[in-house]
Amino acid sequence: MKGARAGGSRRFFYLALLLVVVLGVGGISWAMNRTKASSVMSIDPKSAVGIKAEGHTLGSAAAPVEIVEFADFECPGCGQFATVTEPDVRERLVNTGQARFRIFPFQVTQAHQNSLAAALAAECAADQNKFWEMHDKIFAGQADWSSMYSPGRDPQPILEGYAKSLGLDMAAFNACFSERRHLNKIAANTEEAMRQKVQSTPTIIIGDKMMAGAQAYDVIKAAVDSARTKAGAAPAAAPADTGKK
C-alpha cells in the first residue's frame, strides 16, 4: 500500500508539473495583479522550442564538481537554503574552486502565484550581469513579496525596488519585465526539472546524488567530496594556518 501511495503521489506531482510546462511552453499565460489594472501576459509557444535550459552559474568552469539546484523563488525551503546554507557553500566550496554552483529557477506549483514574477525579475537583472545580486535580494526579502505570506500581494513594486537598489538601468529592467522577455527560459528550466525527475524544491544534485529539501552544509560538503573522488580530482587543500584562533 505504501508503494502504491508513493507511486500515486509521484504521478500527481508530474501531472501538476506537466501542466506548468504546458502553460509555459504552449503559451504561458498568467496574471499579475496591479494597482491600476490586471495584466495578462503570454509567450509565443514557438519561442521556447529548442531552447536549452542553462540556468545560472557561480564559480569556476574548471571546478571538478557542479552543485545543481532546482529552485522556486517562492518556495520557503528554497529561501531557507539560500539564506542559511548557500552562503557557506559559496564561501567554502565555490570560492575555493572545489565546486561551481548552478541554479535553475522555475515555478514548481501554480500555488506560488508570484514565483514567475520573481524569476522574471532575476532574469531581467541577469541581462545587466546582476542575477546573483537579485537572487540574494529576492530570497532575503521573500516574506515581503511572496503570495505565500500575503495572498494577492503585488510583487512588482518590491522587485523594482530591488532593481533600483542594485543600480540597474531601470528603463531596461522595466521594459524586460513588462514584456515578460525571459519566460521562455523559465519554461525551459521547468522542462529540465521534469527531465531530471525533480519532485520538489529545493532539489540539489551533486554527481550521482539527488537530494530533496534544504540540505545542511555538511551534507553538501560530503556529496561534493564524494563526487570529487569519483571524478578523480585531487583532494581539497587544507586551509592555510593564519595563526588566528
121 and 174 Cβ atoms separated by less than 8 Å:
no
- Position 46 in a domain: yes
In a domain, 244, yes or no: no
What proportion of the chain, given as a percentage, has pLDDT over 90? 66
Give the amino acid at 113. Q
> What is the C-alpha to C-alpha distance for residues 197 and 18, in angstroms, rounded to an integer?
12
Residue 158 pLDDT greater than 50, yes or no: yes
Q: Is residue 176 part of a domain?
A: yes
CA separation for the pair 68, 79 (Å, rounded): 16
Structural domain including 75 reads 2-231
Domain assignment present for residue 241? The answer is no
The pLDDT confidence band at residue 11, using thresholds 50, 70 and 90, is: low
pTM, rounded to two decimals: 0.77
Higher pLDDT, 85 or 30: 85
59 or 42: which carries more pLDDT confidence? Answer: 59
Q: How far apart are CA 190 and CA 95, in angstroms?
A: 28
Q: What is the pLDDT of residue 237?
A: 52
Grid-cell match 537579485, residue found: 134
Q: Give me the DSSP letters along 32-64.
A: E--SS--EEEE--GGGGTTPPP--EEES-TT-S
Q: pLDDT tens-digit profile of 212-221?
A: 999 999 999 9
Indicate whether 154 belongs to any domain. yes
Please report whether residue 167 resides in a domain.
Answer: yes
Average pLDDT, the chain: 81
d(CA 120, CA 184): 10
More confident residue, 40 or 170: 170
- Per cent of the chain over pLDDT 70 is 74
Could you tell me the pLDDT band of residue 49, with boundaries at 50, 70 and 90? low
Q: Count the domains in the chain.
A: 1
Pick from 119, 16, 38, 19: which is nearest to 74 by CA? 119
The answer to whether residue 76 sits within a structural domain is yes
**25 confidence band (pLDDT: 50, 70, 90):** very low
Residue at 243 is within a domain: no
CATH number at residue 128: 3.40.30.10
